[in-house]
Structures are given as structure tokens and as C-alpha cells.
A and B are shown apart, each in its own frame.
Chain A
Amino acid sequence: MKLNTKGLLGLILWSQTLLLASTFRSWLAVVSAAALASVLVAARNRPSGGEGNASPGLPRWLGWVIVTLLIATTVFIIAIWRFANQIGDDINPVYVAVDILAHSAMFVSLIIWTLRPWRGHLAMLPLGFIVVLLAIAAGGASTSLAAQTTVALASCLGFSIGSQIILGSEQSTTQGLRLDRMHSSERSAWLAPMFSLLTLSILMMGTSVIANATNLVLPTIQNRLQEQLKSSFDAVGEQSVVGGTRYVRSGRIGSIRRHMIGNPREVALQVHCQVSPGYLRGNVFDLYRGGRWMDSGSAEFTQFRTSGLERDRNILPSGAGTVPLQRNINQTLQRFSLVDQSPLQTIPVEVHNDPMKGPMLFLPLATHWIEARGREIVVTNHGVVRLGVDTNRPYVAGVGTTLPTEQLSDTKREISLDVSPSILTVVQRTAETVCKSSSTAPAKATAISKYFNSQYSYSLQGIETPPGVDPLVHFLETQHDAHCEFFASATTLMLRSVGVPTRYVTGYVVDEPSDELAGLWVARNQDAHAWVEAFDEQTGRWFPVESTPGRTYQTVEPDQQAVVASDFFSGLLDRGDDENETWIGRVISYFVSMRATDPLLVLFRFTQLPLFLLLLFVLWNRYLKPSRNAGDPTDIQARKMLRQADRRLRSLALVRHPSETLYQFADRIDQVASVDSLPYRANAIERLTGTANWYRAYADARYQGRLPEPIR
């Protein structure tokens, strides 16, 4: 191998180093280590007999022991270093583990490269992938298609080169003796790189195609899978030691608390809105059993699905999204109308999820439409968008001035009033005591809310419920300090027991303005919350109920800001702004907004096809062009005739064997024609005989170098 394998391996490792350092902000240590490794490698000269192990003078086993100890020590030191670096108030164990693992993999790769600079080691391939995977998982690359495609192409390029160097060098070290004249191999020396380049081009094009296809179908798959395995996720989430890593999907009482106290400062949502977005709904539950809330519309409650319960609605986009996003994603969103009534005024609320926390939409209660990336969405009978939205991209909720009205079906009413008989007595006794002077649903809700605010205290301390006792019964009887889930659950059931349909809602309270940007709000894990929505029979609308002590329900009010009066005018205004901008300004803003991965992507995208076509043409011209390989045109034509004749007879089970001469085949045809003459008509036999004669004539003509007569 004539390539400078040492340098190429170094280049790949340096790319990994930069990615790692930029992701985990460990520039000094990582770059220093890579530089030290580079210096050591540069100082080494290639041994004449190929690379041995770490210490050529030592026995093989001792060399391995030393290397293993070296790697183990390095990993240990890295673990201590990275752990110490992450110690703080809000340490995230998962992030620390990712950090340690990624740095360990990088340093081990550098050690291996230092020991085997020319050939490397097979372990460098998975280690390299681990570094890249973990760096991306930790936020080293954007989740946008462009960034992901760039990562894919760079990985493809690096892995292909690394694999060729590492695995290919093992063979090249055992080169046998070739007796050819040298100029022959030198003449075709350029062909091998050319074929490699062509293959690399095909691989990269395939990678781009697969990345695009994956990006297209992944949201649907994610949502379907998430829906199918929802109950399993809940179970896993409940047993999870570390909270806060995923959005809370479970309805078990205590899951919100675990999410809040596990890495409480971690940002869960970012919302662009001119006013405080307030309460954003994530999950809505309507059935309570044994300390756990469930959704009657989910897959596990098939009896409700077959009954008169309103089914999930599939909604197709009504058009392209019109609200300009605060962060450009270079993709058009689709608008989906969630309610039939078109409000006059809406406030756009642009939500950015954390993709690592799972696909889930968080919307205000009064959302009338959403603009999101997707082809078709599925909305539950509680107004929660269950499927169809790519939550890796931002989505916009159009929040109206009024809540939509609804006519409750009997089944839904029954479910919304359901209280388990085992707790009904306690719940009803308390509720009737609290609501004895209230008649309407809002009045009852206010009474209960006041009751909890006056008689209870808020606490995030864990509560030990006696075995066999429902946690809500224990809560109502002992009046112990509790967190939002207890207050919301108790309120939901108490209202139900006095005839008010209710549902239990979990989500986030987004009311913390970001320091980075005006109009940007963040919700952290500690902002996870549970509250209640009750149905007012008089107005036919659901309304929020906040009964957790010290909390007040808040949401977007359209009159708080300059409302987007109309999407049409909004679009017009945008275009007007663009027109005021000069072309120089546009060019400058394009270059300013361009990311580091963009030129790479442009390079990959726009040079691949011409390169591929050029290589293909050169190789086709060299190897596959008919004029080069086919030889004499007479031969081509004669062979074509023979193939035609063979085809005719093949359907009659008369197949010419490779070892059979044309004369022998002709004799066999004659034999078949004479023996099996009965089933054939006379002219058919004549044709068979004619074909046999043609084969003989063909053989004669070919022997004499003439072009045979075509078969008739």
C-alpha cells in the first residue's frame, strides 16, 4: 500500500477528537492528548519487518498485559477526571456516563494508534463509532436532516478508509511473489483507486438516500411504536432509577415527582412566544385505578374502543404552515386544524422539544391548530395529538381566545365520572363536605381548590403509603403534605364524585423566560406538573382547575400581545421585509447563517453525481463497451442467430447441452422428430427437420468463416 496510512489514520482520529472536544467542551485535554499521540507517531519510523506489538523486545503475552494495564489505567483516570468535571448541583448520571465512555473510547483509540501507527487495530473501528455516536447523542450534531446527512457521509468516508487501512494492511503484509512483468501492474495501478472512488461515491449516495428515506418515515414509525408500547414504557419509566431523562408518559402517582427531582434543572422544552405560554398539556388520563391514571382511549382498553367512545381522529393537513419560525429549519410545516371553528385571533406558540426525551407534543388547552412536520396526525378524544408529528422539528400551536365547545357522549361522560368503588366512599364524603354549598361545576372546582389551598401543604418529599391502602385515600384521610399529582388526582375524583366530568392532565408549566433571547421561554424538569380539566355542562367547555397549593393556572391570553390577525397578512409582511433587504444583505446573511457542516454537505451533494457519472463512463468505456469486447460483427450476428434458434427449441424441452456439438444436437432433433412424430403435425415435423438442417448449415458456415443464413 503506497498510501500514507499513518497520516490517514491520524486524520480520522483528529476528526473524532475535534468532534468530541467540541461536544463535551474538553478542548485542552483532548486536543493535547491527540497532539501528543501525533508527535509520538511522527517520531516513529516504520520497522522493516512490519509492526509488531507494543514492545517488540518483550514476550507477546507480556506486551498484551502491559497494553491492557495501560488502557485500564487510562480509562480509570478519565472516569475520575470527567466525573469530577461534572460534579455539581444537577449532575446527570446518564450524561456523565456518556461523557466518560466517549472520552475513554477516544483515548483508547489514540493509545492504539500510538502503538500501531501504520496498521492500527480492528478495535479502532468500533471505538471510532462509539465516539461519534456518543458525541452526537450528547448534542454534538443537530438533529436536522442536513446535519445528520453530513454526519452520515463523514462516517461513511472515515469508516471506509479506516477499514481499508486496518484490515487491508493485514493482507498486504503477506504479499506473495508475483512473477509478472512490473510494467503490466503499473499500467493498471490507477484502476484500483478509481474503482474504490466509484464505490465510495455509490456508498455515499446510498447513505444520502437512506438518510432521506429514514427521515421521511421515522416519525410515523416512532409514533406507531410509541403507541403500541405505551404501557410497557410506563412500566419501565416507573421502575427507572434515574428520573428526568424522558418525558413523563406514565400516569402512576409519583412519576411526575421522580421526573422533577431527577436532574431538575435540565431543560425539557423551549418555547418561543411573546407572552408566558403557561400550562402545556402532554398527557390526559381519564381512568384511575390503584394509584395509577390510565387513558381509556389507549390500546389496552379495547372495550371502550368498541363501545360508543369517540374514536381518535385522523386529520390531514389543511395547507402549508404560514407562521415564520424563530429558528429556521429549511423545511415547510403543514397546518392541521384541531377544531372546526376558526377563531379570529390566535397566538402562535413555537415549541421545541428535546428529541432525546421521546416524541410527545405539548400544547395549550385552547389550541385550535398546529403547524408541524407530518403528513397526517391522530388526535385523541381529549384533544391530545397522539401520532403523526415529527417532534424532532419545532411545531407551532395556534392558541385561540376561547375554548372550543363539546358535546359529551354518554360513554365519555360515564368514563369522566368514573370513580373506583373501593375509594368512592372516602372521596365522596370529602367532596360533599367541601362542595355542599356549590351548585355549578366551576363553583365546585373553586371550592375544592380552596379547600386544598387552605388545609394542605405542598411538599416534594416522598410519601410512604401503608400497604393495601390507596394513596389517595391515605392522602385524604391523613392530609399529609404532598405534591401536585396528589392534589390533581384527588380533585379529579372528588369532582367526579359530585357529578362533574373531569380528566387528569400532566405536562409542563412554561413560565421561565430565557436569558438568551427575548420571547424564548424554557421549561425544566422541575416544571413538570399535573392539574385537572373539568367539564362545564352549561357552557359545554372544558376548563382548567388548579388545586395544588401555591399554584395558579396560567395560559396564553390572545389580548396580551399583538395577535397574528391573519396568516395572509403575516405572510405579506414577511415578504415585504424580504423585499426591503438588498441582495448583498441576503448574501451576507446567508454566509453568516451558514453552519460548518453546510459546505461539506454541499460538497457531498453536488460533486457526487458528476464524479460518479464520470467514473462510470470511464470504466464502461474501458471494460463494458460492446465494441471492445464483442470482436467481429459477424460473430455477434452469428451468435444472435444461434441464440434465437436455441430459444425456439427450448420450449420443446430440446436444450442444447454445452458439451454437445451442433451436429450432435441436430441429430438429436431429428431423432425426436422421428420418435415423437405422432403428437406433431406433418408440417411441424418438417420444421423440426428444417431446424436440424439449419444447425448443420450453421456449423458449416461458421467453420468456413462465413455468416450463416438466418433461420426461417
Chain B
Amino acid sequence: MSGAAFLTHLDAKPPAKGRLERLRRLSRMLGRAIASPLRLFLSVRRSMTGASVTLLIICIVTLNIVWGYPWVGMFSACLSMLLIGWIINRIMRPNLSFNFTLPRSAPAGQPISIVLHGKNQAKLPAMDLKITFLPAAQHRRRKRASRIGHGPSYRLLSTPHSLALIEPGHRVNLASSIAIDQRGIHLLPDIMVTSHFPFQLFQSFRRHPGDTQIAITPRPLTGDEDAVARGLLDAFGGWSHRLLSGDALDYTGSREYQVGMPVRRWDFTSWARLGRPIVREFQSPSIQLVTLIVDTSFGRTASTSPSDTQDQYQLLERVLSLAASAILTLTQRLVRVRLCLTSEATQDQASTMPMLTPSDCESMLIRLAAAEPVSSELADTRLSEMIEQVGRTPTMILTSRSDLSLANGQDTGVTVLRVDPAHRAGVNVMPHATASPLILD
């Protein structure tokens, strides 16, 4: 039985839901029809290039043919290029899909190499293309305010790609480079594909969302930046050195020297007494695990004014940068690091194993990238819970809070390294440059 015959067996009265749907569709079509002239105008205006503007102006001038000017040919040429050029441009509008090859994370402000894999999904070739990440200035915030839309926080480091043609179903791989200055878990910027076919008369745009996330980790603090940064690093270096090489060497006994033995210290007394070279043996440091707790709260007395909030954010970034440096330093020394963040729930972190391998190190940096500020009350609660959990493991708390009080910190030997916001006034470009370290043992 044919489709028509099949339908005749149904009652003519459709369900109410269908009528509603039809009404909605009708109203949508009506709205579209009313708005279509405006949309067409805007679309044409957006797609015009220098060439089409020239054509339009000349076309208007050649309309003087109605007064007898012999410009019928020029009028026809301009009109045909305008009309047919626009139609062809719309027909040949590129329809590409994109995938990306990019690292899981990258430090803030550092170049990120991204390979774009574009595939032409249309039946016609895509021609005269320009492919680029949407420049930050054009990135609209209205669509995805949460992504990199708060001002020009990323920079395009590579030039746009110009391609003459991509055949239907074919792929192109394009290397691009951007730098994102803001720490966080970000979506990649949108990709803008522009086609200038035919003959640069018009341009059609297609915006492809960069629906791929990348973790922008805090920029590791370096001593080259400023004196305060050097001070912070020195403070941390001193703590870690003392922890790892000073107190932790235990004497285990003396023995006669054999060729090839590593000699740490000669036991001259025994050598003299026994007449044979005797060496003292020490046990390697027993401390192989360090806990880093990063406090991401602002403090109870934090002001709510925009400038103060910005300063507090910058201090927090400084703390996270210091944490990133600490993680990198410790893992380079083959020390296992357990990272705890007050922005993460304690029970989630309890299951986190201490990290050692480079990929583990990257995971910790990604966690730093995702860190969010929390209230000081919550931070205090979580700090207490963390300190209880870590026991007597060497622990360092990195914070920017001046009102941090540890109920049980003194007993467990927790070290607090505070990035002091006391001297931030008067510095607005690099507020962390004035922050001074404070060690509380």
C-alpha cells in the first residue's frame, strides 16, 4: 500500500500536539519571512569586499543609462558580477569540520602549538579560503561568556592560513600557535573560515566553535622576575633543602673501604686505629613524600571593591605560580608530591596518590589550572581536615592569607609559606612583585 493510501486510513483529525506544532512552525516561518529582508541586507553587507563595494558604486553610477548615458555594458557587467558573484559565493560557502591536536596543558603565556585538522564536508570544493583562530578582539562574549572572552586574554602567534582549494571530503592539516595568558580550563577560541570565492568579490564566513578544552597551568615563578619572587623561591628552596638533605642523613655504621665504594665521609679515627681505610656509611634520606597544600581563599577581611578583588586574584595567581614552581622543583628531585587544594573537596583528594612521574606532575599542574577561589571558612575547614590526613608528613601550606590560623599546625610541623599582600599598594601591573614571603614554622 502506498503512503497516501496508508494515510487515508487515519482519521483526518490530527492530535492536538500536532496542531500546536504546526502553529508554532507557521509562526516561525512568518517571523522568518518578516525578518528575511533585514537578514538579507545584513548578510550582503557583511559579505561585501572592496571589490563588491566598487561594483556597487559603479553600478549606481551607471544607472544613469536611464538618462541616455551609454553605459549599458558597464551596468550589465557590474550588476552581473554583483548578483552572480554573491550567489556563487553563497553556494560555495565552505563547510568544514575541525579537529585539533594539542597538548593537555600549557603554562600561561607560553606558545601552544595546535594542529588543525580540517575536513571539507561539502559536495563542492572549498575555495579561496582563509582559516584562522578568531582574533580575541572579535571574539564575542555573548555566546560563551565562560570561555576566553573576558578581553584579549589570548594572542595569535601564527598568521592566518590561505588555501586555494580543499576538495570535497579531503583533509588539511594546519599548524597554528596561540598563547593564552589566563590560567584556567579553557575552550579553544573559535575558528573563522572565510571564503573569498569568486574573484574576491564577496566573502562568506563560517565560524566553527573550538569545542576542545586545554588546561592553562599557572606560570611557574622564576627568580628572574623580581626580588620578591626570588625571595619566595629562596624561602621554598631553603625549606626543601633542609628537609631533604640536612636533617635526614642517618649514620648506620662504618666498614672497610673496598675499591669502587662510594665514599661520603672517611672515618679517620678508625683508619688510624685499625690501619685500614674505613668509611662511614649513612642511610639515604628517609623523606620521600612531601605534601603541598595550596590555600585558594582570599581571607576574611577581603574587600569587595573591584580593585581589591583584582589584587586578591593576582595574589592567588602568585600563590598558584609558586605552587607550580614547587611541584616542578620537587619532582625534579624525585620527591613524591601530594597536592591538596582547598578548592577541592577533601574526600576527593584523600584518594589521590602521591605523584612522581612527569605525567603525574602535569596532572597536578592541571589541578592547579582548575583551582578556584573559595571562602576562608571552607578553606579553614578543609585545611584542618587535610592536616589531619597528612599526619607527620612534611607539609607546606602556600597561602596569601594573613589571617590564617592553624589549630593543629604547630604540632604536626606544618610549614606555611605566605605570599604577603601587605605591600601591594601602588603597584598595579605586577602586584606580586611587591608581595613579600613570610615563613611560619
**Once the chains bind, are A133 and B73 in contact (CB under 8 Å)?**
no
**Once the chains bind, are A147 and B73 in contact (CB under 8 Å)?**
yes
Selected from A141, A176, A357, the residue in CB contact (under 8 A) with B73 is: A141
**Once the chains bind, are A149 and B73 in contact (CB under 8 Å)?**
yes
Contact flags A208-233 to B (C-beta < 8 A → 1, else 0): 11110011001001100100000000
**Once the chains bind, are A164 and B200 in contact (CB under 8 Å)?**
yes
* Contact residues of A between 425 and 460, Cβ < 8 Å to B: none
Majority secondary structure, B binding face: mixed
For residue B303, CB closer than 8 A to chain A, the reply is no
Which residues on B sit within 8 Å (CB–CB) of A648? 3, 6-7
Number of B interface residues in the complex (CB < 8 A):
76
Selected from A159, A171, A200, the residue in CB contact (under 8 A) with B51 is: A159
Q: Say which one of B168-176, B182-190, B211-219 lies at the interface with A.
A: B168-176
The docked-state distance in angstroms from the alpha carbon of A680 to that of B13 is 9
**Once the chains bind, are B160 and A174 in contact (CB under 8 Å)?**
yes
User: Which chain B residue has the least Cβ–Cβ distance from A688?
Assistant: B10
Selected from B62, B131, B198, the residue in CB contact (under 8 A) with A199 is: B198
For residue B49, CB closer than 8 A to chain A, the reply is yes
Tell which of B7, B49, B162 has the most Cβ of chain A within 10 Å. B162
For residue A669, CB closer than 8 A to chain B, the reply is no
**Once the chains bind, are A225 and B72 in contact (CB under 8 Å)?**
no
Tell which of B73, B75, B200 has the most Cβ of chain A within 10 Å. B73
Number of A interface residues in the complex (CB < 8 A):
86
* Contact residues of A between 144 and 185, Cβ < 8 Å to B: 145, 147-153, 155-156, 159-161, 163-164, 166-168, 171-172, 174-180, 184
The docked-state distance in angstroms from the alpha carbon of A712 to that of B6 is 8
The docked-state distance in angstroms from the alpha carbon of A566 to that of B128 is 65
Contact flags B117-132 to A (C-beta < 8 A → 1, else 0): 0000001110110111
For residue A701, CB closer than 8 A to chain B, the reply is no
A167-B49, A178-B174, A191-B165 known; A133 and B14 CB under 8 Å? no
Contact flags B13-45 to A (C-beta < 8 A → 1, else 0): 111011001100000000000000000000000
Which residues on A sit within 8 Å (CB–CB) of B162? 171-172, 174-176
For residue B288, CB closer than 8 A to chain A, the reply is no
Contact flags B154-178 to A (C-beta < 8 A → 1, else 0): 0000111111110110111111100
**Once the chains bind, are A167 and B160 in contact (CB under 8 Å)?**
no
**Once the chains bind, are A184 and B170 in contact (CB under 8 Å)?**
yes
For residue A143, CB closer than 8 A to chain B, the reply is yes
Which residues on B sit within 8 Å (CB–CB) of A396? none
**Once the chains bind, are B158 and A167 in contact (CB under 8 Å)?**
no
Contact flags B239-257 to A (C-beta < 8 A → 1, else 0): 0000000000000000000
Which residues on A sit within 8 Å (CB–CB) of B51? 125, 159, 163, 167
**Once the chains bind, are B76 and A152 in contact (CB under 8 Å)?**
yes
User: Which chain A residue has the least Cβ–Cβ distance from B166?
Assistant: A188
For residue B115, CB closer than 8 A to chain A, the reply is yes
A159-B81, A203-B85, A687-B9 known; A141 and B70 CB under 8 Å? yes
* Contact residues of A between 78 and 125, Cβ < 8 Å to B: 122, 125
Which residues on A sit within 8 Å (CB–CB) of B124? 623
Selected from B69, B76, B160, the residue in CB contact (under 8 A) with A176 is: B160
**Once the chains bind, are A653 and B18 in contact (CB under 8 Å)?**
yes
For residue B145, CB closer than 8 A to chain A, the reply is no
Contact flags B43-56 to A (C-beta < 8 A → 1, else 0): 00000011100110
Which residues on B sit within 8 Å (CB–CB) of A125? 50-51, 54
**Once the chains bind, are A652 and B70 in contact (CB under 8 Å)?**
no
Which residues on B sit within 8 Å (CB–CB) of A196? 198-199
**Once the chains bind, are B80 and A624 in contact (CB under 8 Å)?**
no
For residue B432, CB closer than 8 A to chain A, the reply is no
Tell which of A147, A176, A184 has the most Cβ of chain B within 10 Å. A176
The docked-state distance in angstroms from the alpha carbon of A151 to that of B73 is 6
**Once the chains bind, are A355 and B1 in contact (CB under 8 Å)?**
no
**Once the chains bind, are A684 and B10 in contact (CB under 8 Å)?**
yes
Selected from B54, B65, B125, the residue in CB contact (under 8 A) with A191 is: B125
**Once the chains bind, are A225 and B85 in contact (CB under 8 Å)?**
no
**Once the chains bind, are B198 and A160 in contact (CB under 8 Å)?**
yes
A177-B175, A188-B165, A681-B11 known; A199 and B73 CB under 8 Å? no
* Contact residues of A between 398 and 415, Cβ < 8 Å to B: none
Interchain nearest-CB distance for B206 vs A (Å): 16
For residue B430, CB closer than 8 A to chain A, the reply is no
**Once the chains bind, are B73 and A150 in contact (CB under 8 Å)?**
yes
Which residues on B sit within 8 Å (CB–CB) of A516? none
Which residues on A sit within 8 Å (CB–CB) of B17? 653
**Once the chains bind, are A159 and B168 in contact (CB under 8 Å)?**
no
Which residues on A sit within 8 Å (CB–CB) of B167? 188, 191
Interchain nearest-CB distance for A687 vs B (Å): 6
Which residues on A sit within 8 Å (CB–CB) of B84? 202-203, 206
The docked-state distance in angstroms from the alpha carbon of A208 to that of B84 is 12
Which residues on B sit within 8 Å (CB–CB) of A653? 14-15, 17-18, 21-22
The docked-state distance in angstroms from the alpha carbon of A480 to that of B302 is 100
A168-B200, A175-B161 known; A126 and B54 CB under 8 Å? yes
Which residues on A sit within 8 Å (CB–CB) of B175? 176-179
**Once the chains bind, are A129 and B68 in contact (CB under 8 Å)?**
no
Interchain nearest-CB distance for A464 vs B (Å): 33
The docked-state distance in angstroms from the alpha carbon of A206 to that of B128 is 22
The docked-state distance in angstroms from the alpha carbon of A624 to that of B125 is 11
The docked-state distance in angstroms from the alpha carbon of A177 to that of B85 is 29
Chain A contact residues, CB within 8 Å of chain B? 122, 125-126, 129, 132-133, 136-137, 141-143, 145, 147-153, 155-156, 159-161, 163-164, 166-168, 171-172, 174-180, 184, 188-189, 191-192, 195-196, 199-200, 202-203, 206-211, 214-215, 218, 221-222, 225, 355-359, 391-392, 623-624, 629, 644, 647-648, 651-653, 672, 676, 679-681, 683-684, 687, 712
Pairs A–B under 8 Å by Cβ, sample size 13: A133-B62, A145-B72, A156-B80, A156-B81, A167-B200, A177-B174, A200-B198, A202-B84, A206-B84, A210-B79, A355-B68, A679-B13, A684-B10
The list of the 6 closest CB pairs from A to B, nearest first, reads: A653-B18, A176-B161, A152-B73, A151-B73, A167-B200, A148-B73
